[in-house]
């Protein structure tokens, strides 16, 4: 037991002396175990080692070409050249009507017409009092103007006192208010009024009118029996010294002597 105690004291004393020995600059040798356990400090890395040790930078992403915008469909403002179908023919803007021969024209004059003042060859204008119809169409409305000429005039005051005056008119055209017109053939003769309140005759037709004037004035016309009968009726009564007159309010009916063709708007 004493021996163990002596060993313990010796060990404790040795341990107590260790700090004193360190203070004196003497370093106790390290045990081989401790030296083996402690690794040497790492050497400072060189520049090449740093660049080698540095992780490689990730490769830059490959630049992809910019995506092209979708191509826009180009619509040309110029229409495609196509062969257009032939247009349907337009309906005619005008229509042609035929006024048949024998159609009666009701005519009036703005003022009095008399054999005393009328002059052969002078123009004369009458007004259509009633419309002329062709089927359901109005060929010429009332108010249309009918143009003609005094073809013969005999005045009672100018050498024909024994028979009385007479005048003949031949109409050649008619004009509507809208301007369309047509060529016509119609005429009449007016003789002086007789005595006993009998009116002078109005004989239609240019041929009959001429025969009437010649007979009434004592001239030979060579007319037929029908013309002679008409003349006899027209000059019945005493017409001596009287003038042929058509008053402004008189309406004279004259028949067309032949068909009249006119062109007018639809």
pLDDT (tens digit per residue) in 119-140: 999 999 999 999 999 999 999 9
Q: Which of 12-21, 52-61, 158-167, 222-231 has the lowest mean pLDDT?
A: 222-231
pLDDT reported for residue 135: 92
What is the band of 11 on the pLDDT scale with cuts at 50, 70, 90?
confident
Average pLDDT, the chain: 73
Structural class in CATH, domain 94-265: mainly beta
**Closest Cα to residue 106, out of 149, 141, 150?**
141
Confidence check: pLDDT of 96 > 60? yes
Give the start-to-end residue ranges of the domains of the chain. 94-265
pLDDT reported for residue 138: 95
Confidence check: pLDDT of 162 > 90? no
69/153: higher pLDDT: 153
User: Packing angle between helix 225-234 and helix 206-216, nearest 10 degrees?
Assistant: 60
Top mean pLDDT of 60-69, 133-142, 197-206, 236-245 is at 133-142
Condensed to tens digits (0 to 9), the pLDDT of residues 219-247 reads 444 443 444 444 444 444 456 678 999 99
The mean pLDDT value for 47-76 works out to 57
d(CA 147, CA 127): 9
pLDDT reported for residue 139: 96
Condensed to tens digits (0 to 9), the pLDDT of residues 166-192 reads 999 999 999 999 999 999 999 999 998
Confidence check: pLDDT of 111 > 50? yes
The mean pLDDT value for 83-91 works out to 79
Confidence check: pLDDT of 9 > 70? no
19/83: higher pLDDT: 83
Confidence check: pLDDT of 107 > 70? yes
What is the band of 33 on the pLDDT scale with cuts at 50, 70, 90?
very low
d(CA 262, CA 221): 35
d(CA 22, CA 17): 9
C-alpha distances (whole Å) from 186 to each of 126, 156, 157, 212, 235 are 12, 25, 28, 16, 22
């Amino acid at each position: 037991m004493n021996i163990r105690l002596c060993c313990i004291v010796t060990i404790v004393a040795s341990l107590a002396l260790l700090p004193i020995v360190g203070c004196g600059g003497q370093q106790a040798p390290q045990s081989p175990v401790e030296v083996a356990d402690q690794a040497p400090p790492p050497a400072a890395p060189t520049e090449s080692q740093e660049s080698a040790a540095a992780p490689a930078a990730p490769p830059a992403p490959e630049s992809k070409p910019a995506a092209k915008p979708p191509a826009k469909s180009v619509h040309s403002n110029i229409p495609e050249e196509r062969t257009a179908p032939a247009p349907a023919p337009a309906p005619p803007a005008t229509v042609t009507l035929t006024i048949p021969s024998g159609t009666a024209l009701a005519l009036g004059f703005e003022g009095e017409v008399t054999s005393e003042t009328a002059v052969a060859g002078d123009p004369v204008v009458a007004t259509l009092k009633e419309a002329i119809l062709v089927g359901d169409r109005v060929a010429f409305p009332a108010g249309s103007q009918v143009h003609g000429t005094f073809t013969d005039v005999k005045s009672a005051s100018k050498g024909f006192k024994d028979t009385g005056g007479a005048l003949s008119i031949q109409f050649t055209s008619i004009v509507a208010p809208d301007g369309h017109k047509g060529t016509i053939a119609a005429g009449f003769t007016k003789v002086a009024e007789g005595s006993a309140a009998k009116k002078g005759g109005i004989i239609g037709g240019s041929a009959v009118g001429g025969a009437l004037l010649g007979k009434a004035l004592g001239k030979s016309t060579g007319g037929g029996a029908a013309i002679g009968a008409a003349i006899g009726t027209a000059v019945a009564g005493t017409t001596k010294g009287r003038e042929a007159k058509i008053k402004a309010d008189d309406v004279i009916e004259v028949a067309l002597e032949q068909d009249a063709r006119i062109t007018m708007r639809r």
